[in-house]
Every structure is written in C-alpha cells, then in structure tokens.
A = this chain, B = another copy of it.
Amino acid sequence: MKSCVVLFSGGIDSTTALCWALDRYDKVFPLTFDYGQRHRVEVRVATKAARKLGLKPVVIKLDLRQVGGSALTDPGIDLPKPKGLARLKAGTPPTYVPFRNGILLAVAAAWAEAHGVADLVVGFNIVDSPNYPDTRREFIRAMEKAVNAGTGAAFGGPQMRILAPFVGLRKSEIIRRGLALGADYSFSVSCYAGGEKPCGVCSSCLLRARAWKETGRKDPLITRTGKGETK
C-alpha cells in the first residue's frame, strides 16, 4: 500500500498537493502545523477541509513564536501592505518565517519515519514567491538528503522522498491542476491577516487574486465569504 504525508496548511498550494496525493496514493496523512501563526484560522479551515475529503487530520503544535523574527509569528512586526506585487522588494520579506519549511519538513520526516511512511508531499512553489528561500528546489533537494542522512534510511531503511510537484509552476497553473483534480478552493485560506475572509491587502491575498484572475475564473472563497476582491 502506497502512503504519504502531505504538508497541509489549507492554502491553495497545499490543497492542490493534497488532491494530487489522493490521486496517486492509497493512504494519505495530512499534517497541519499550529505554529503560532498570525493566521491561525488556517488550522481550523485545514482540518475541516481534510475531513470533507474523508481524511483524518493530524495537527502538530510547535510554537514558532519562541523563535520569532517574522511578521507571521511576532505580533510586534507589522504585516506589510504592499501597494502591488510588482513592488515587492528583493530579499526575504517580513512574512518569511526563519527556516519554517525546514522545521516543518524535519518534523514531518520524523512523523513519517515513526509511522512507516517514506514519501512527503509539499505544495511549495517559487515562481510567484521567489523571495522565500525555503520553497526552492535547491532547498528541497538538500533537505531530502539531510533527512536520508539522519534517519533510519541511513542504515538501510526505506529512502525518504520529498515530492514538490508544483515547484516550477505559477499559482494559476497550480489552480488549474487542482480544479482538474476536483479541488474545492472554497475551503482554502491564504490570507496572512488572520481572518477566514481574504483581507485583499496582504501579499498573500494579492498573489491569490492575481492567480485567479489569470485562470479567468472567480475565486470560490470570495464568492462564499463575500469579501476580499482586490483592485
């Protein structure tokens, strides 16, 4: 029986990754992290979405406010309100959470090893968000090597894989893939501001709005919650 763990935040990318995994694996474990994020509403939405797909959500608590250094985990750092996506500055943005995906993948790898699962699936992508180092192909490959060097895989156990099927895709392409797989984006939250309804102002809402515009469709989350249309 083929099984995998999916890093599932409940956003567009990981919702698509979950559908991608459901199409390919017999058993799928959605792992959601309650990491002290400002937009903690995603934990509730993700577990609800997982249950709607007939899956048993696994929620791991790991408070990254202890680490800080990000507008997503430190309430003292303001969430940027970019005037538009073109104006996003170079370098890691204030919404970058230090090595977050490294931490989440390390815990997911541990959970997978403890549960006899060898494949980790992530929705990471870099085309629309090139400023997050921990979503890049190079990082994913390096992390996979570290996992295989530091777990039972190093002693002849099953090699672990980190699969990032959308790493080279634009978000609009990811949405198209998801729609073809039957993804329900009316229960996916992307906004950093903390509400279930998109604020329409943060960089994550801007990205989501642009992606839906590119697909030529209406974002069903906006239709459902009645808010968040950006100019």
Contacts and interface: CB of A to CB of B under 8 A. Distances in A.
A115 interface: yes
B113 A98 contact: yes
Band of interface residues on A: 35 or more
B150 A142 contact: yes
A143 to B, nearest CB: 5
Q: How many copies of this chain are found per oligomer? A: 2
A103 interface: yes
A68 B114 contact: yes
Interface in A134-162: 134, 136, 138-139, 141-143, 145-155
Interface stretch (A6-14, A40-48, A59-67, A214-222): A59-67
A15 interface: no
The A contact surface, by secondary structure, is helix
Contacts of A66: 60-61, 111
A36 to B, nearest CB: 11
A229 B110 CA distance: 34
A2 to B, nearest CB: 20
A97 B152 CA distance: 10
A91 interface: yes
A129 to B, nearest CB: 13
B110 A138 contact: no
Contact of A67 (B90, B98, B107, B148): B107
A113 B140 CA distance: 19
A155 B109 CA distance: 26
A228 interface: no
A38 interface: no
A118 interface: no
Contact of A155 (B106, B133, B149): B133
Nearest to A112: B98
A149 to B, nearest CB: 4
Those 6 A-B pairs whose CB atoms lie nearest each other, nearest first = A69-B114, A134-B150, A98-B110, A139-B150, A133-B154, A99-B110
14 contacts: A62-B63, A91-B155, A98-B109, A102-B106, A102-B146, A102-B150, A103-B103, A103-B110, A106-B106, A131-B155, A136-B154, A139-B149, A142-B149, A143-B149
